[in-house]
Amino acid sequence: MTFVVTAWSENPGELRRLHKRVIEERSIRGRARIVEVETEGDRLGPLVDSLQVTLASGVATAAFADMVVTWLGTRPAEVTVRLTRDEHEIVVSADEVAVMPPAAARELTERLTEMFDGDHRHSL
């Protein structure tokens, strides 16, 4: 299964931070790559467009879902991510995760895992 993660933030480095976390996680190490696009105008270097993650097992999917929810809950700036696989997608923001009680964060992790393992479309 291949997932694409797209983020909107005041800080353009947020997807790179998530990528760093992904490559540090043993169960999904080596399964993520940054997708860049060339910039126009006076900006230096390419922009990170998305993060592409390829996972083969439900265990890795659950680890990735947990990592994304935990990562969002620790973002100091406004970050919204869209996670997609084929026609399935979920959109969630750091502000939403930051105020969730632990039970709701676990439920979001389960919903992410189910969405990527199942055939449902979800949006928060």
Could you tell me if residue 45 is inside a domain?
Answer: yes
Angle at which helix 58-73 crosses helix 14-24, to 10 degrees, equals 140
- The domain total for the chain is 1
Predicted local distance difference test score (pLDDT) of residue 109: 93
The two tokens of residue 81 are: 């991510």
* Domain at 75, CATH number: 3.30.70
Could you tell me if residue 47 is inside a domain?
Answer: yes
Question: pLDDT tens, 3-54?
Answer: 788 887 877 788 888 888 888 888 787 778 888 766 666 655 555 678 888 8
Domain that holds residue 95: 2-117
Residue pair 34/6 in contact by the 8 Å Cβ criterion: no
Could you tell me if residue 72 is inside a domain?
Answer: yes
Within 8 A by CB and 6+ apart from 116, the residues are 1, 3, 61, 65, 83, 85, 88
Residue pair 58/117 in contact by the 8 Å Cβ criterion: yes
Could you tell me if residue 123 is inside a domain?
Answer: no
Residue pair 27/88 in contact by the 8 Å Cβ criterion: no
Could you tell me if residue 17 is inside a domain?
Answer: yes
